[in-house]
Structure 1
Amino acid sequence: MSLTQPQQKRFKALAAEIEGIDVDVYERFERDPLEPIIGLGKPNLRVGFFGRDPGREEVRFQEPFIGAGGQLVRKALYERLYGEKMPDFEASRAVGEHFFWINTVPYKPVGNKAWSMKVKRHFHDLMNEVLISCWEGESLITLGREAFLWFGIGRSKEERDRLEAFWKSDERFESSIEVTLEDERGEARTFRLYPLPHPSPLNQTWYARFPELLKNRLEQLDVHLDNLAI
């Protein structure tokens, strides 16, 4: 599944209005800094991943979740599906085809710092539309606090408080929570979020535990080769 032409144009227009895109990295790899990096996938894939934003390797390959943190995710997916260690980088790219990929802002920020709330709001309506219209699944593994709390943007204080309380609970990486999103066209979908910590090597608190936490989530969601599509 790819973006529609109008969606592609809207992303480029929105990106042209902000500062903070890491233009130097895009230039190094001869990539267009206004081109959104969204993985998407087949619309009928059962499980999706919702992350923060792309990094250097994502710019280089024009694929999301392909850098150090993404490789940690893909290794776990490969082992879950095939029962053996992931052999190489190309295998990591191929295993991604079985899942839907999306993030809060589809552009690499300078210094890999999380985008401001202002920028996340700037893209929110369009990312919301993409999530609702381009995918038929409902189970989303969110990676990190920024990705999880994105689902509270533009919502009521009660809903934001509900998500904040869930994130603060000790069971957040074992339990799940339902959220209903509505886009500007009035189309609504309900998703179930399965939060995990951010898989960055810089996340010292959770990095070592991440593979086991993801393995447990994949078991929870009954992920296997015969159960990848709706």
Structure 2
Amino acid sequence: MDKQYTYLLINFLTVLFPVALSFDKRVAFYKNWKFIFPGLFLSGCLFLVWDYVFTLTGVWTFNPEYIVGIYLYRLPLEEILFFFTVPFSCIFIYACLNHYFNKPMPLGPGRYVSFALMGVSLVLVLVFRGSVYTVVTFSLLLALLFYACFILRVTFLNRFYRAYLVSLLPFYIVNGLLTSIPVVLYNDAENMGARVGSIPLEDHFYLMALLLTNLLFFHYFKKK
């Protein structure tokens, strides 16, 4: 296979099993698609604006050897697809866990974890205020958690954190490939410089913000 299809193939494999297993009779994930796709579009628009600005300012760049060369506003086609394939797959994990482990969960632990994350996010924003990726990532996460906890008072935070932890398994495969090949190259002047393997620490919380955004939209459209 020509290596220019690398990022496209990673996207395809990311979403392959969630789509194929959507029609399993037990979870019947396909029935939720009508609630998921509007949120994917809205969150995709939000994160793609962020992505575009970061690409424009050199926070990260894309290795032309591993992309097909189709761009929209300087963003490779594969990067645009990323904001649909990854959250779709994470919501699939969320739905499966909720189906197979459906005992009621106390609200307290999820809220305490959220409070701790808000505190850590605030500290990191202040300490690394000169690093754009760090500041934007943790500012967004802080705002999302505050909105979820104090404005919406959502009751699914425990299930969200459970799905997030499980999502880290495929995350390490996907982002590990993207950052080690590398398909995506990071400017370490704009992040903390801390990595798990080849993956910037911020990416873990970027995923958390992306998943939480999509779940907020998912539950909103499901209630309408």
Same fold by TM-score greater than 0.5 = no
Structure with greater strand percent? 1
TM class, shorter-chain normalised? under 0.3
> Which structure's CA Rg is the greater one?
2
Taking structure 2 as the reference length, the TM-score comes to: 0.27
Q: Could you state the TM-score of these two structures normalised by the residue count of structure 1?
A: 0.26
| Higher helix proportion (structure 1 or 2) | 2
